[in-house]
Amino acid sequence: MKPGSGKKVILGMSGGVDSSVAAHLLLEEGYEVLGLFMKNWDETDESGECSATRDFEDVRKVSAQLGIPCYSIEFIEEYRNHVFSEFLRQYEAGFTPNPDVLCNREIKFDLFLKKAIEFGCDYLATGHYAQVRPRTTPTPNGAKQELLRGADPNKDQTYFLTAVPGAVFDRVLFPIGHLPKPEVREIAKRLGLATSTKKDSTGICFIGERKFKTFLNQYVHTQSGIIRDLDGNRVGTHDGIAFYTLGQRKGLGLGGEGEPWFVCGKDREKNELVVVRGQEHPALYAWELEASELNWFGGTPLTESFDCTAKSRYRQQDQACRVTFTGPGSVRVRFTEPQRAMTPGQYVVFYQGEVCLGGGVIQSIGRSLFEEQTGIQMIR
């Protein structure tokens, strides 16, 4: 008997190749599959089109090819209230938020899961590149499944799942998590699916093809100010510190002889952007970060500190570190090697081998190598 025999699953279909192939694999496993398209945004892009309309048409085509029912549901108000509003609040405060992490926590693995239960489904499935497997030991929060990296290291998406409550994964399936992306494409081509050659979506969903600064200007009040170097010399003017992130090079409008300029700090009180020359400048590197809003998939570790690996940004290679609890909901993370351009507002995600332990929001960065070398205090 096939694993899915007699079981019903609701699949989040985005109109892309990943969820299309996920639907096919679930059918092969014997599941009764129902496709559900989530519309989280209702504004048009610069060309006057709504990408959600195009994507749902692709969902309809693939569903017809595979012979499964599909529906569309709107979470527009919920998305604005729980994801977009927080995104704007963080930017206005000078941080660099990650709306994809918030969307997974608030929409895809909360509201969407509740909808799956309403439909009488046994599982929720998505096209994420991640995996789950049964835990061998009990956990403080009762979670029965642990989250594993996707088999394709170039596509692994566990970073974006770090804020999802661990117990949720007991009712989640990741049909393509064990496959490399090229194989997913090949399956889609072999089946002749309408999405087989569709490009992967990139960037933030509600911005689309628009320039980030143009989009953000509609919602966030910004004020221009000076750009200075570490010696306090004025080297240019910025359009608002909300538009810039640590380690950024492009869009500064700075030239002159010497190496390129990079953002190394934001003085929010003075509305000043601080820059240095050179990608490897010691002001861009630090050993430690402080994180809070922690989420542990298997429950909070019972030790005061532990060693693991971590990512402080997506697509980063794992970095060895020690995690030390500094309070009920906060940790200090010290890396074995100094890390470049760690950014408040982003997430730090922890791993033990292939297992994703959870993560939290970066609140502050420790002393930079420049500060250690010179004794001069920076503002980030």
pLDDT higher than 90, residue 44:
no
Whether residues 181 and 72 share a domain: the answer is yes
Same-domain check for residues 88 and 41? yes
In terms of domains, do 248 and 108 share one?
Answer: no
In this structure, the answer to whether residues 183 and 91 fall within a common structural domain is: yes
pLDDT category at 151 given cuts 50, 70, 90 is: very high
Does residue 345 sit in the same domain as residue 251?
Answer: no
- Which residue segment(s) compose the domain that 270 sits in? 222-277
| Last residue in a domain, options 233, 254, 277 | 277
Q: Quick one: average pLDDT of 234-259?
A: 91
* 187 lies in the same domain as 106: yes
Question: With 80 as the cut, is the pLDDT of residue 45 above it?
Answer: no
Does 214 map to a domain? no
Residue 170 has pLDDT above 90, yes or no: yes
Residue 293 has pLDDT above 70, yes or no: yes
pLDDT value of residue 206 = 59
For residue 4, is pLDDT > 70? yes
* pLDDT, mean over the chain: 91
Q: What is the pLDDT of residue 261?
A: 97
Q: Of 193, 199, 210, 202, whose CA–CA distance to 49 is shortest?
A: 210
Of 103, 121, 321, 356, the catalytic one is 103
Under 8 Å between Cβ of 325 and 355: no
The pLDDT-based confidence of 353 (bands split at 50, 70, 90) is very high
Distance of CA 278 to the CA centre of its chain: 28
Model-wide pTM > 0.85: yes
| DSSP letters for 141-178 | T---EEEEE-SSTTT--GGGGTTS-GGGGGGEE-TTTT
Q: Is residue 88 part of a domain?
A: yes
Instruction: Clarify whether residues 249 and 366 are in a common domain.
Output: no
Question: Among 116, 135, 125, 208, which Cα is nearest to 172's?
Answer: 125
147 pLDDT higher than 70? yes
Same domain flag for 305 and 366: yes
CATH of the domain at 339: 2.40.30.10
On whether both 256 and 295 belong to a single domain, the answer is no
Is residue 213, in this structure, part of any structural domain at all? Answer: no
Is 205 known to be catalytic?
A: yes
Q: What's the angle, vertex CA 303, arms to CA 300 and CA 305, rounded to 5?
A: 105
Return d(Cα 224, Cα 326) in angstroms, integer. 37
CATH number at residue 239: 2.30.30.280
Res. 166: pLDDT tops 80: yes
pLDDT of residue 194: 95
Q: How many domains does the chain have?
A: 3
Q: Is the pLDDT of residue 202 over 80?
A: no
Q: Are 161 and 128 in contact (CB under 8 A)?
A: yes
117 & 18 share domain: yes
Q: Both tokens of residue 266?
A: 């934001």
How large is the average pLDDT for residues 315-334?
95
- Choose the catalytic residue: 70, 121, 205, 264: 205
User: What percentage of the chain carries pLDDT values higher than 90?
Assistant: 73
Active site residue 103: yes
Q: 292 and 271 in one domain?
A: no
119 and 184 assigned to the same domain? yes
Tell me if 7 sits within 8 A of 122, measured CB to CB.
yes
Could you read off the pLDDT of 73-93 as tens digits, one per residue?
A: 999 999 999 999 999 988 888
